[in-house]
Structure 1
Amino acid sequence: MNGFAVSRGSLSYEEKLSLIDDRSLSDVESESARAELDGRFSHIQWAATAKTYCNGFRLSSWSSSLLRIGMFLLPSFIQHRCARERFRTEKLHPTAYLDGMRGLAALFVFFCHYFYTAFKVAEGWGHDNANYEIWRLPFIRLLYSGPSMVCVFFIISGYALSLKPLKQARSRSLDGLSNTMTSFVFRRFFRLYLPPMISTFGVLILLRFGIYEMTRDFVNDRKYVHNVIEHHPVLEETTQKQLRHWVREMYDFVHVWGWEKFGGATGYDVHLWTIPVEFRCSMMLFLVMIGTANLRTGVRFFCLACIMWFVLRSDRWEMVLFLWGMAIAELDLIRGAHEPSPSQQPSPPPATLLPLDSTPSTTPERRSPCNFLWTLLTIPALYLMSEPDAGPAGVPGWDYLGTLIPEWFSDKYRYYQMIGSIIFVFCTARSISWQRAFNSAPVQYFGRISYALYLMHGPVLHTVGFLVEKRVLDWTGTEGNRYTWGFILASVINIPLVIWAADIFWRAVDAPVVRFTKWLEGKLSIQD
């Protein structure tokens, strides 16, 4: 199927699900694929709106171009309001709640990387009889717990990448499974790596224009940075050396030959270490799915359990999460979680991205009698996800749990975060209450821009964000409560700034990459 020719009415429900189901944390193909499916980019809203204004005012070509650029730079939900399009209450696909979950996870990862430069967010409440601030308490700390959110990312990735192949394997559609797996393997590299390569090349350009030099002193100044000093991209002597350095970094970024911690991390954006992890785990997951596709369901689960034990014992927590995503996906298929009733047949997603209306009717009409139980079980799951990033030692409520972590498990702080994330995703798949929350319009918006948010928050913070923070802190002061209130005031500017940049990157880069990858596959594939 040509990725540039998808129309809203030409796809069946199964075909739409086949595109939607190919997604992941950083892959985040769901939101971008959905953007492709619902025609937002085949009927470019901002361009149509700008054209209407231009025709109405009979502007010159220069004025028209400037107006179109200005319209494009507006956040997508504001464009909707400018165009005065009416929001239509329509239903999303059955796993839309995973998009919302991933969107909030990406937002909280951004909060983690933003807050840990100023505050010691890794330490738990009462760590070594100190640090009794309320924001360190379990549950509350999840709002900025990056490592826990990464665990959620990986489970969703395993789930999303497994759903369609498992559905085909269970229906004995082996020819379809073969086509799906070859498509997934081919597109995976482009989908994961093209957006960060573009974003880091943008960092290179900003470096050469001296934008990063404006904040280099700030990054290393303990007057302003009270906790983590994050790596600032290196400025080479010449543009040619900078390009060579970037090419070497991108070569190392495609890190498939080793599993060491943070392998493949690039100095142009240190937050992107999870992308090579995603790629490696995806390839391993594809191998497991192909190897178990022809097995009976019970045998497949037994083999999957053995592989999980081996992987866990080998201290590969990230692969454990991917495999659990696969297991949860098949359990959902077994219980028919993705079989909509006639009244729940999905229509095209709404044209708006952040409607004023109440939550779209995307959740099942009937409440499961066990809904309360599954929702209740997420409470201990969230507590386990709240394990302090500095480790459980010396933290009330975690000292004893820390003694139960196996000695061979190296990243002690990830142990309960991993377990809690698995339980939370498993229970959420059965909790209508949680699904309704994740299917709400604002949360779904963050789901759509989640990959862009992940890629953009580092460059924006290291440039404009730190400039804003410095100006505000110079005004409020850098000691005690003055520092805290100054940081909060800077956040009022910086958080919307990052979301705005992510919105633009999503429309300008992320969604076109999805379409390009689909188009490229169609052009290079053998035609029947």
Structure 2
Amino acid sequence: MKSATLRGLRHLLWPKSLSSSDAPKPLRPTAYLDGLRGFAAFLVYIHHHELWAHGPKMSKVFENAFGYKGNFYLTTFPFLRNFFVGGHLAVAIFYVISGYVLSYKPLSLIHAGEHLKLYDNLASAFFRRWFRLYIPLMVTTLVYVTSWHVFGIWVKMGDPKGTIGEELWNWYVEFKNFSFLYKEGWMWVSYNTHLWSIPLEMRGSVVTFISCMALSRATSKARLICLVGLIYYFMYVVDGYYCALFMMGVLQCDLDLLARKDGYFPRWLRSLEPFKTFIYYHVLIFGMYLGGVPSETQETDQLRASPGWYWLSYLKPQAVFDYKWFYLSLAGCMIVASVPRIPWLKRFFETRFCQFLGRVSFALYLVHGPILNLLGDRVYYAHEPIKHWANLIPLPKTGPMGLEIAFLVPNLLLLRVTLWADFVTRTVDTPAVKFSAWLYKAIQGDGAPEPKPVELAPLTRVE
């Protein structure tokens, strides 16, 4: 009995990662998207750790182009920089993938003419979406802020209140405002500032569901034209880049589904089929270049002063306030579109490593910030001259910027702890998904038809 209990506890707490002996499950047709999403979440982890460990002064170098103001570092070189400060590019990729995945089933039903099933699918997805996104966020931030007072932990980022009661009230106020989709102004939760993308994810999801419903009776040609029109509207008319990214994902999904069946498919795209490998290699290269857009400020003049970006700076639409999101939107769309058309790249994202990252990607996104704040702050400072952590573990800073020994060695511990996101996936994320599905089923009752409402008697006509 004791042995079984210990095995169960170990199974719960120990990350079920690449060392697992479980037989690999058959891959889904869109498994590469799971791997790409997981790898993108890993880029977010790297981005935040690089900026945190190197401090504000060097962070400006990371965020600027190779050669800007005479700074030439390998980690800022075009293409390579995406693997060090590719966090914002990762968010763009998240949104395109979400648009693709959320619309896959609805579009499949639209193509099959199953409009009643489409309604049921969209009703279920719409109902469950808020719970799926916000329950894990609520649980992880609540545990995080409670730990400050229970264990007396000092944190660099945050403003702990005097008592745990004050803290919980402040957490409640922040969360309720953060969870309201239509709150005016920027939505921010100070307990984990990395979660700013979640409300935009929810908004983009709503736009995706509404678009699928609104265009469900349209012809294939008309639907594609409308999706292109929505992308143009969100990007060039209003500053809604995140909605444009979701629509890019929907458009890619629709084209992929149309390509597999007889019927309408743009002839000009079909004529390019023999050259698709050549084309998509160039699409990937151009997307990777755009994904490295300098992003220290929102000033277009600074972008024009960056080597390799002068002429590209004139592509920015007037409607876009923060220029980087225009280029990142193009980059995210190009990368997601090119991955399944380049065999070796698709196989990479279907590997066990990327599939594991895909499975824990949401939890990884949720917990890497608190772990960086609680543990990373102390581990990185263990070799910095700061208070009582001064040089506890002296490490040399030799190596290229971003790959110094003093950065890589702490990550042997920090990465392993952060991959404990698998524990959060199993204990928070997966139960949240199951709860939302259960709740949706529960509100439908036993499936018996609703009684008809009592009709009012018709008014007697007076002659």
TM-score tier by shorter-chain length is: 0.7 to 0.9
Q: CA deviation at 1:284?
A: 1.8
What is the aligned partner in structure 2 of residue 433 from structure 1?
A: 344
Structure 2: 5+ residue stretches without partners: 262-272, 298-302, 385-390, 449-463
Q: Which residue, out of 158, 161, 176, partners 1:236?
A: 161
Residues 143-158 of structure 1: pairs in structure 2 closer than 5 A? 143=83, 144-158=85-99
Q: CA deviation at 1:430?
A: 2.6
Q: Does 1:413 align with 2:324?
A: yes
| Distance (Å, rounded) in 2 between the aligned partners of 1:436 and 1:211 | 46
Q: CA RMSD in A?
A: 2.3
Q: Does 1:80 align with 2:20?
A: yes
What is the aligned partner in structure 2 of residue 351 from structure 1?
A: none
Q: Does 1:507 align with 2:426?
A: yes
| Distance (Å, rounded) in 1 between the aligned partners of 2:73 and 2:9 | 45
What is the aligned partner in structure 1 of residue 413 from structure 2?
A: 493
Q: Does 1:104 align with 2:39?
A: yes
| Distance (Å, rounded) in 1 between the aligned partners of 2:365 and 2:274 | 34
Query: In structure 2, do the counterparts of structure 1 residues 234 and 95 end up closer, same or farther at CA, with 3 Å as the change threshold?
Result: same
Q: Does 1:315 align with 2:239?
A: yes
| 1:467-511 CA-partner distances (Å, limit 9, x unpaired) | 222224324669964994322221222122211x21111111111
| Distance (Å, rounded) in 1 between the aligned partners of 2:166 and 2:393 | 40
Opposite residue 140 of structure 1, the aligned amino acid is: L
Q: Does 1:336 align with 2:280?
A: no
| Distance (Å, rounded) in 2 between the aligned partners of 1:103 and 1:406 | 31
Q: CA deviation at 1:209?
A: 2.0
| Distance (Å, rounded) in 2 between the aligned partners of 1:418 and 1:370 | 22
SS of 1:178's equivalent in the other structure is helix
Alpha-carbon contact 2:146-2:164 (below 8 Å) kept: no
Residues 65-76 of structure 1: pairs in structure 2 closer than 5 A? 65-76=5-16
Opposite residue 124 of structure 1, the aligned amino acid is: A
Structure 1: 5+ residue stretches without partners: 1-53, 220-231, 338-366
Q: CA deviation at 1:447?
A: 0.4
| Distance (Å, rounded) in 1 between the aligned partners of 2:131 and 2:368 | 21
| 1:163-202 CA-partner distances (Å, limit 9, x unpaired) | 1111111111010000001001110110010000000011
What is the aligned partner in structure 2 of residue 284 from structure 1?
A: 207
Residues 348-387 of structure 1: pairs in structure 2 closer than 5 A? 370-387=276-293
TM-score (norm. length: structure 1): 0.74
What is the aligned partner in structure 2 of residue 452 from structure 1?
A: 363
Opposite residue 150 of structure 1, the aligned amino acid is: V
Out of 240-249 and 68-77, give the one that drifted further.
Answer: 68-77
Asked which structure has the greater CA Rg, the reply is 2
| Distance (Å, rounded) in 1 between the aligned partners of 2:74 and 2:443 | 56
What is the aligned partner in structure 1 of residue 181 from structure 2?
A: 256
Opposite residue 281 of structure 1, the aligned amino acid is: G
Q: CA deviation at 1:371?
A: 3.5
What is the aligned partner in structure 2 of residue 136 from structure 1?
A: 76
| 1:431-477 CA-partner distances (Å, limit 9, x unpaired) | 32321111111111100000010001011111122222222432466
| Distance (Å, rounded) in 1 between the aligned partners of 2:352 and 2:278 | 23
Residues 210-221 of structure 1: pairs in structure 2 closer than 5 A? 210-213=151-154, 216=155, 219=156
SS of 1:184's equivalent in the other structure is helix
Q: CA deviation at 1:376?
A: 4.1
Q: CA deviation at 1:303?
A: 1.8
| Distance (Å, rounded) in 2 between the aligned partners of 1:79 and 1:440 | 14
Alpha-carbon contact 2:397-2:406 (below 8 Å) kept: no
Matched residues, percent identical?
28
SS of 1:246's equivalent in the other structure is helix
| Distance (Å, rounded) in 2 between the aligned partners of 1:236 and 1:476 | 32
| Distance (Å, rounded) in 2 between the aligned partners of 1:285 and 1:70 | 40
| Distance (Å, rounded) in 2 between the aligned partners of 1:475 and 1:133 | 29
Query: In structure 2, do the counterparts of structure 1 residues 323 and 115 end up closer, same or farther at CA, with 3 Å as the change threshold?
Result: same
Query: In structure 2, do the counterparts of structure 1 residues 77 and 420 end up closer, same or farther at CA, with 3 Å as the change threshold?
Result: closer
What is the aligned partner in structure 2 of residue 123 from structure 1?
A: 64
| Distance (Å, rounded) in 2 between the aligned partners of 1:327 and 1:397 | 30
Alpha-carbon contact 2:18-2:356 (below 8 Å) kept: no
Opposite residue 241 of structure 2, the aligned amino acid is: W
Alpha-carbon contact 2:177-2:183 (below 8 Å) kept: no
| Distance (Å, rounded) in 1 between the aligned partners of 2:72 and 2:353 | 32
SS of 1:77's equivalent in the other structure is coil
SS of 1:429's equivalent in the other structure is helix
Alpha-carbon contact 1:211-1:463 (below 8 Å) kept: no
Q: CA deviation at 1:66?
A: 4.3
Q: CA deviation at 1:67?
A: 4.5
| Distance (Å, rounded) in 1 between the aligned partners of 2:323 and 2:393 | 39
Alpha-carbon contact 1:124-1:390 (below 8 Å) kept: no
Alpha-carbon contact 1:155-1:422 (below 8 Å) kept: yes
Query: In structure 2, do the counterparts of structure 1 residues 454 and 479 end up closer, same or farther at CA, with 3 Å as the change threshold?
Result: same
Alpha-carbon contact 1:371-1:432 (below 8 Å) kept: no
| Distance (Å, rounded) in 2 between the aligned partners of 1:71 and 1:301 | 47
Q: CA deviation at 1:80?
A: 3.3
What is the aligned partner in structure 1 of residue 461 from structure 2?
A: none
Opposite residue 203 of structure 1, the aligned amino acid is: Y
Alpha-carbon contact 2:396-2:405 (below 8 Å) kept: no
| 1:369-426 CA-partner distances (Å, limit 9, x unpaired) | 7435423431111111111222633321112211332333211122212112111212
| Distance (Å, rounded) in 1 between the aligned partners of 2:103 and 2:18 | 35
Alpha-carbon contact 2:383-2:395 (below 8 Å) kept: no
Query: In structure 2, do the counterparts of structure 1 residues 288 and 78 end up closer, same or farther at CA, with 3 Å as the change threshold?
Result: closer
| Distance (Å, rounded) in 2 between the aligned partners of 1:304 and 1:259 | 27
Alpha-carbon contact 2:18-2:353 (below 8 Å) kept: no
What is the aligned partner in structure 1 of residue 114 from structure 2?
A: 173
Q: CA deviation at 1:311?
A: 1.5
Query: In structure 2, do the counterparts of structure 1 residues 439 and 478 end up closer, same or farther at CA, with 3 Å as the change threshold?
Result: closer
Q: CA deviation at 1:254?
A: 1.0
TM-score (norm. length: structure 2): 0.84
Query: In structure 2, do the counterparts of structure 1 residues 78 and 284 end up closer, same or farther at CA, with 3 Å as the change threshold?
Result: closer
